[in-house]
């Protein structure tokens, strides 16, 4: 294992002192459930639990050392090596992680990209990881590690030899992105789109655009701001970029004035074909994920590749092999009634824009004989006073997508369910778990089922249940597209 941090580097970056014989540090973690041997465990204080209570478990699982406060170091050092950090701030361990992240950013010559947006930031980050990994040592955020814990943790994990760094930055309140962007200090910052997500915390959509525009505040001098030309409040986002240290602004989308422009998008059940113009250069490519939203975000990916000076042709070619992240469009074949049905897992999160995009993708899936398009929807959270109206408003998109049946989980989605004609009502329940049996009872060969909802609605439980019962090969994550 190549050491990520030496003892001297750890102590210098955090201002702490290592007690005991520290093992080689090859990674960093804040979760004992996923910790790997050699990881540096940060005993962060969460909302409900204190990481110090899990230090013994972390060290027992092979952690290289645990970062703890000075006040707890004496007791915990008996369990194994600990890095004792000064008692500063509300959470000294989090402060130490931020400092270590800053040291990681300072020591690397990597070109760093930061991604935010109301919809599609994780998929875009994963697409960038995918295409850049073929062109150099690439380090990127794991899962959706995009908050005040995830960003410094991802930085702390970044090897010095990294060539490309890709960071996802999220928010649900104003002013959250500013300190995170300052930590990442990106050379390129991209905004996928602006939609009414977390609207309960904002006065207007313009305020959300302002919050997303904060990402440009962290740009290094001469950096590149990349913005969706089709996004609402595009001009407002450009103003944020122009007020930063950005050297230039690059736009992408279907707008005729976009710098990276889609001239034609051909949508197929399992992939998309895009004819684009990238800064004047024609590029045609296949995208290994379905849906117009994915195709449009791929334009942002190519805008980043061009701005980095990386190989555009190689990146476009590698997009063919892109597969959806878990919970964001992953497809699984189900063996039902002697035939095959298809499950589309969009359960990771939901908002009005992403649900509409998912419904449009479901509309493009060809069903088998007697097959139906079935949408299984959970509550979209953090939509504020307009929540009921926004849920009801999806009825039009369901009609446009020719969805045959809708199953609804949660009190908010019930508003949508009641707005649908009786012929489209599949079933309704208070929780996702209560929908498993009614849904399983009506599935038949040829069906295409899409599951989507906010994290809090726990729609993933439905996906897990259907996979456990019907997946043709449960060991495979992504399976063939619809017939």
Q: Are 432 and 440 in contact (CB under 8 A)?
A: no
Please indicate, yes or no, if residue 1 is contained in any of the structural domains.
no
194 plus 175 within the same structural domain? yes
User: Last residue of a domain, which of 99, 123, 150?
Assistant: 99
Q: Are 224 and 247 in contact (CB under 8 A)?
A: yes
Please indicate, yes or no, if residue 284 is contained in any of the structural domains.
yes
Distance from C-alpha of 293 to C-alpha of 286, rounded to nearest angstrom: 14
* pLDDT, position 188: 98
Strand partners, 40: 28, 65
59 plus 159 within the same structural domain? no
How do residues 210-252 score in pLDDT, each as one tens digit? 999 999 999 999 999 999 999 999 999 999 999 999 999 999 9
What CATH number corresponds to the domain at position 436? 3.90.190.20
User: Last residue of a domain, which of 294, 321, 348?
Assistant: 321
Under DSSP, is residue 226 helix (H, G, I), strand (E, B) or coil? strand
Give the number of C-alpha atoms closer than 13 A to the C-alpha of residue 199, restricted to the C-beta side: 19
Q: What is the DSSP string of 49-79?
A: -BGGGGHHHHHHTT-SEEEEEHHHHHHHGGG
5 DSSP 8-state letter: B
Supply the mean pLDDT for the chain: 93
pLDDT confidence of 479, banded at 50, 70, 90? very low
304 plus 334 within the same structural domain? no
Give the number of C-alpha atoms closer than 13 A to the C-alpha of residue 139, restricted to the C-beta side: 23
Please indicate, yes or no, if residue 409 is contained in any of the structural domains.
yes
Distance from C-alpha of 320 to C-alpha of 289, rounded to nearest angstrom: 8
Please indicate, yes or no, if residue 81 is contained in any of the structural domains.
yes
Nearest to 141 by CA among 131, 127, 130, 155: 155
124 plus 34 within the same structural domain? no
Strand partners, 18: 83
294 plus 363 within the same structural domain? no
Please indicate, yes or no, if residue 339 is contained in any of the structural domains.
yes
Under DSSP, is residue 116 helix (H, G, I), strand (E, B) or coil? strand
Please indicate, yes or no, if residue 480 is contained in any of the structural domains.
no
What sign results for the dihedral spanned by CA atoms 458, 459, 463, 468?
positive
235 plus 363 within the same structural domain? no
* pLDDT, position 480: 39
Distance from C-alpha of 269 to C-alpha of 267, rounded to nearest angstrom: 7
What CATH number corresponds to the domain at position 175? 3.40.1190.10
What CATH number corresponds to the domain at position 33? 3.40.1390.10
356 plus 301 within the same structural domain? no
124 plus 47 within the same structural domain? no
- At what angle are helices 92-107 and 7-14 packed, to 10 degrees? 120
Q: How many domains does the chain have?
A: 3
User: Last residue of a domain, which of 47, 72, 99?
Assistant: 99
359 plus 460 within the same structural domain? yes
How do residues 60-113 score in pLDDT, each as one tens digit? 999 999 999 999 999 999 999 999 999 988 899 999 999 999 999 999 999 999
Under DSSP, is residue 260 helix (H, G, I), strand (E, B) or coil? strand
Please indicate, yes or no, if residue 482 is contained in any of the structural domains.
no
Distance from C-alpha of 414 to C-alpha of 431, rounded to nearest angstrom: 11
Under DSSP, is residue 346 helix (H, G, I), strand (E, B) or coil? strand
Q: How are the residues of the chain apportioned to helix, strand and coil, as percentages rounded to the nearest 5? A: 40, 25, 40
pLDDT confidence of 1, banded at 50, 70, 90? low
> If you average pLDDT over residues 283-302, what whole number do you get?
94
289 plus 350 within the same structural domain? no
Distance from C-alpha of 411 to C-alpha of 388, rounded to nearest angstrom: 9
Q: Are 36 and 62 in contact (CB under 8 A)?
A: yes
Nearest to 63 by CA among 79, 44, 46, 48: 79
> How do beta strands 39-42 and 224-228 pair?
unpaired
Q: What is the pTM of this model?
A: 0.86
Distance from C-alpha of 228 to C-alpha of 118, rounded to nearest angstrom: 12
311 plus 398 within the same structural domain? no
Domain that holds residue 17: 7-99
Distance from C-alpha of 300 to C-alpha of 297, rounded to nearest angstrom: 5
223 plus 78 within the same structural domain? no
Please indicate, yes or no, if residue 2 is contained in any of the structural domains.
no
């Amino acid at each position: 294992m190549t050491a990520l941090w030496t003892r001297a580097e750890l102590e210098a970056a955090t201002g702490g002192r290592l007690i005991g014989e520290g093992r080689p540090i090859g990674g960093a973690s804040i979760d004992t459930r996923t910790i790997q041997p050699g990881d540096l465990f940060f005993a962060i204080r969460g909302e409900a639990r204190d990481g110090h209570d899990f230090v013994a478990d972390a060290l027992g699982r092979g952690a290289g050392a645990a970062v703890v406060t000075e006040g707890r170091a004496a007791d915990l050092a008996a369990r194994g090596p600990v890095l004792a950090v000064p008692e500063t701030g509300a959470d000294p361990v989090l402060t130490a992680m931020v400092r270590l992240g800053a040291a990681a950013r300072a020591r690397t010559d990597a070109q760093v990209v930061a991604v935010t947006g109301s919809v599609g930031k994780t998929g875009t980050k994963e697409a960038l990881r995918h295409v850049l990994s073929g062109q150099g040592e690439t380090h990127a955020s794991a899962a959706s590690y995009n908050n005040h814990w995830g960003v410094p943790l991802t930085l702390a994990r970044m090897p010095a030899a990294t060539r490309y760094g890709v960071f996802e930055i999220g928010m649900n309140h104003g002013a959250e992105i500013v300190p995170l962007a300052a930590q990442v200090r990106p050379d390129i910052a991209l905004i996928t789109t602006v939609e009414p997500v977390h609207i309960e915390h904002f006065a207007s959509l313009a305020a959300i655009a302002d919050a997303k525009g904060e990402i440009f505040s962290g740009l290094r001098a001469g950096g590149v701001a990349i913005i969706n030309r089709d996004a609402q409040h595009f001009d407002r986002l450009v103003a944020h970029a122009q007020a930063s240290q950005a050297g230039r602004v690059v736009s992408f989308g279907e707008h005729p004035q976009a710098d990276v422009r889609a001239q034609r998008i051909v949508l197929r059940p399992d992939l998309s074909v895009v004819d684009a113009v990238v800064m004047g250069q024609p590029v045609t490519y296949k995208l290994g994920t379905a849906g117009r939203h994915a195709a449009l975000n791929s334009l942002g990916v190519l805008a980043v590749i061009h701005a980095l000076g990386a190989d555009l042709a190689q990146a476009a070619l590698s997009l063919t092999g892109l597969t959806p992240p878990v919970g964001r469009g992953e497809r699984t074949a189900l063996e039902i009634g002697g035939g095959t049905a298809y499950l589309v897992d969009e359960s990771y999160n939901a908002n009005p824009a992403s649900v509409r995009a998912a419904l449009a993708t479901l509309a493009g899936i060809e069903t088998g004989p007697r097959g139906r398009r079935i949408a299984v929807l959970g509550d979209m959270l953090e939509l504020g006073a307009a929540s009921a109206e926004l849920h009801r408003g999806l009825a039009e998109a369901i009609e446009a997508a020719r969805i045959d049946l809708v199953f609804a989980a949660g009190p908010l989605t019930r508003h949508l369910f009641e707005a649908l004609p009786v012929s489209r009502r599949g079933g309704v329940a208070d929780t996702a778990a209560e929908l498993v049996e009614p849904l399983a009872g009506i599935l038949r060969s040829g069906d295409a089922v899409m599951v989507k909802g906010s994290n809090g609605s726990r729609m993933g439980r439905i996906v897990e249940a259907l996979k456990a019962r019907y997946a043709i090969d449960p060991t495979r994550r992504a399976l063939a597209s619809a017939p």
